[in-house]
């Protein structure tokens, strides 16, 4: 049964990691009904490590864009590629300073129904407000990733730190930040994908280190569970990223805002029912 659950969780991760809807919120709901029959330490490590499958899809889809060693690129294109990586590194600075030291504390204290639901609703409202009142009155001068300055990259990285709070959504926070500083949806979404590579690789690596240093071991069966979810997350992410890039060319994020609010309400209802059942027991 854990293999089947791993497939389902991989599908959920592959879809929700890239959409601004919070993969954490969705995994909490799914794990509430289809929780893995594994230890709490394994589940926490599992949720982060399968993100590497999602990240691998970004590398595959945008390999030419991200590859500074491509023989088909001119010297100017190679220079732009290195500049892109430099901007990604700059955007990761806030996360290194703030997110790494506080990540475990946030997971321990806020990875619960109510905090996640609140953040889902807050950012859902933010998306709707920004799309209805901010975007129509502002012109996006930055329409390509190559036009993003180092200052803009640093600001987006600051918004990424907000995703420390479970339920925020890393892509949601960075895209909101991009829109607020004059970056188009397409460029903001694409840069968010790129920024996710070092951010999620680093976080997954940190969770693996903590898992093993806490005295845990990984059996062959547990490794297979992670591998299955990893592969599924990769395959689904390949579709999700392409779909989102086409979607943002002709649509805004209002739908995602409404969806987040609805999901937040569902989580609050689940939390309330769980609390009432606990008191009755």
Of 35-49, 103-117, 178-192, 211-225, the least confident: 103-117
Residue-level pLDDT at 265: 92
Q: Over range 113-121, report the average pLDDT.
A: 88
pTM for this prediction:
0.86
Q: Looking at the predicted structure, is the pLDDT value of residue 270 above 70?
A: yes
Structure tokens of 165?
């709070």
Containing structural domain, residue 265: 2-280
At 107, the pLDDT band (50, 70, 90 cuts) reads confident
At 159, the pLDDT band (50, 70, 90 cuts) reads very high
Of 2-16, 22-36, 148-162, 166-180, the least confident: 22-36
Measure the CA–CA gap between 80 and 104, rounded to whole angstroms: 36
Q: Over range 208-227, report the average pLDDT.
A: 90
Q: Looking at the predicted structure, is the pLDDT value of residue 25 above 80?
A: no
Residue-level pLDDT at 281: 64
Q: Looking at the predicted structure, is the pLDDT value of residue 142 above 90?
A: yes
Residue-level pLDDT at 30: 83
Q: Looking at the predicted structure, is the pLDDT value of residue 125 above 90?
A: yes
Q: Over range 116-142, report the average pLDDT.
A: 89
Residue-level pLDDT at 112: 78
Mean pLDDT of the chain, nearest integer:
89
Residue percentage of the chain with pLDDT more than 90 = 49
Length of the chain: 281
Q: Over range 78-101, report the average pLDDT.
A: 91
For the chain, how many structural domains are there in total? 1
């Amino acid at each position: 049964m854990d293999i089947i659950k791993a497939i389902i969780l991989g599908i959920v991760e592959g879809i929700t990691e890239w959409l601004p809807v919070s993969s954490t919120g969705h995994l909490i709901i799914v794990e509430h009904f289809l929780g893995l029959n594994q230890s709490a330490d394994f589940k926490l490590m599992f949720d982060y490590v399968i993100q590497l499958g999602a990240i691998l899809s970004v590398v595959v889809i945008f390999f030419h864009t991200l590859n500074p060693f491509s023989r088909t690129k001119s010297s100017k294109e190679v220079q732009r590629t290195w500049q892109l990586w430099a901007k990604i590194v700059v955007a990761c600075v806030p996360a290194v300073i703030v997110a790494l030291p506080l990540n475990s504390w946030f997971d321990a204290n806020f990875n619960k129904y109510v905090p996640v639901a609140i953040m889902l609703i807050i950012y859902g409202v933010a998306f709707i407000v920004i799309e209805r009142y901010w975007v129509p009155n502002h012109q996006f001068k930055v329409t390509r990733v190559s036009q993003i300055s180092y200052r803009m990259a640093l600001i987006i990285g600051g918004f990424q730190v907000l995703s420390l709070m479970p339920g925020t959504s890393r892509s949601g926070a960075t895209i909101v930040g991009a829109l607020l500083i004059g970056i188009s949806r397409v460029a903001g979404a694409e840069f968010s994908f790129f920024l996710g590579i070092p951010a999620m690789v680093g976080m997954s690596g940190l969770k693996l280190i903590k898992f093993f240093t806490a005295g845990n071991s990984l059996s062959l069966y547990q490794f297979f569970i992670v591998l299955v979810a990893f592969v599924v997350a990769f395959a689904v992410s390949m579709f999700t990223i392409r779909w989102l890039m086409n979607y943002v060319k002709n649509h805004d994020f209002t739908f995602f805002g409404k969806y987040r609010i609805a999901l937040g309400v569902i989580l609050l209802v689940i939390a309330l029912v769980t609390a009432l059942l606990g008191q009755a027991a």
